[in-house]
Amino acid sequence: MKKLLRFFNEVSKLKEAKRRKWLANQIPNPETTASHIFRLAIMAWILGKKKKLSRKRLIKLALVHDLPEVYAFDFTPYDPLLPRNLSKYEKVKPVLEKWPQLYLSQKRKKTKAKWREEYTGMKKLTSYLSPALGKEMMELWLEFKRGLTKEARFVWQLDKLETFLQAMEYWEKYKKINLKVWTRWIKECLDDSLLLEFEGIIESKFLKKKPVSGNSLSSSLNFFVKIGELKTMVRKGWILRGITQGSTVSEDSFLLAVAVWVLGSKKKELDLEKMLKMSLSFELCKVYTKDRTPYENILPKRKVQRDAVLGKWPKFTEEEKEKRFLEDYAAEERALKKLLFGISSGDKMLIINLWDECKRKLSKEGRFVSQVYWLMLFFQAFNYWVLDSAFPILAWWQQMERFIAEPLCKMLLDILADEFEILKFRPTFKKRFSFFFRRVVFENFRKLV
């Protein structure tokens, strides 16, 4: 079980991995690899239905395709022309102004280096999983890289298309993207008829400013653009606790989906495909409701008083709990219906039903995903506490010990509890020891003088 926590800790690093292609283009606070994977997984699910492909396999391929970047270098089409250090923009800008022209020897060298680093990274990452699950993830990744199935080839092209969509969004916002290069690149990547049509709709929306109406793909594009807002939505709970560069809703949804896959694979009686879709759709409503916390409407204005309240998990009467739940439920349901307006009625009803099952814990799958959701949020909070002992982790313990009851999640929580007991005095001890050391040295030095 400790290896599982190590796996989650390693994968969560993708929440902080800013994508290199956007850094090269000087995009402020660009998306992370985790955010990219999150939207790609949803696009694979929704668009894959139109191709009558296995949605479960598509989602898994999307989730696994960039996992090696935990350890591997994030290559771009311009490497090796780009310097690895992108801080010197005067050397980067000329390279980005035209299509990358590489010698055959450069292409081969880059391909070998990319394969070596990613394969080694994937092998290391899967070593923290059970042999069966590690083998499954490795085989899916190899399937994606080699394009061995229809699903793998579809996700490979969709991966490029999601990146192209993000490029258009950044171009519209910052005007820093070279349109000629990007439009040429995406056309060389695609041969699937559906994705070629979808790429044309993206160009119509962003470049020609002529959105296609009455088209299901156009409605899907509007949906994908809206959920892209979750890439920049830092959780309010982290902001309230002074973590301004905290994880976003999309990044946490990515980790939730991976955790549901890993932990859900041990629950043979549960429908894993259903849970994967549930984990991806559970927080989509926050596009409109924004991220909320249990502290809504109860935090004092003065910082000292606010910190005191945040140091404990809020307690409400049963009547207050029910009232707050019903208010949140109604607001989230309205938000989902607004977000899903225009997409196919089948997808709309499925997403709403999945959200409802998880929100109200109406099924075994809903209850399991809900437990994993809170465990992963706590895991993130625990990591913030490890970095900064001032983070109010005790408030989380107060809730988690009462809330998490699912045996597998409880086991992981107990391991974290052991880690907490080992680490809880370490940051304080370091600070006190440092202060004590400086004081003793200073006083002895003064006596000597």
Print pLDDT tens along the chain (449 aa): 789 999 999 999 999 999 999 998 899 999 999 999 999 999 999 999 999 999 999 999 999 999 999 998 888 878 777 877 787 777 788 888 877 777 788 888 888 888 899 999 999 999 999 999 999 999 999 999 999 999 999 999 999 999 999 999 999 999 888 888 899 999 999 999 999 999 999 999 998 877 776 688 999 999 999 999 999 999 999 999 889 889 999 999 999 999 999 999 999 999 999 999 999 999 999 999 999 988 888 888 888 888 888 888 888 899 999 999 999 999 999 999 999 998 889 999 999 999 999 999 999 999 999 999 999 999 999 999 988 888 888 888 888 888 899 999 999 998 888 887 767 655 443 343 333 333 433 343 333 33
**Do residues 341 and 284 make contact, with C-beta atoms less than 8 angstroms apart?**
no
Which domains, ranges and CATH numbers included, belong to the chain? 1-232 (1.10.3210.10), 265-449 (1.10.3210.10)
* pTM for this entry: 0.91
Q: How far is CA 356 from CA 162, 254, 271, 283, 365, in A?
A: 28, 20, 16, 11, 12
376 neighbors 259 (Cβ within 8 angstroms):
yes
Q: Is the N-terminal amide bond of 77 cis, ω within 30° of 0?
A: no
Q: Which value, in Å, is the radius of gyration of the alpha carbons in the chain?
A: 24
Angle at the Cα of 39 (from 38 to 42), degrees rounded to 5?
Answer: 95
Report CA dihedral (112, 115, 121, 126) to the nearest 10 degrees. Answer: -140
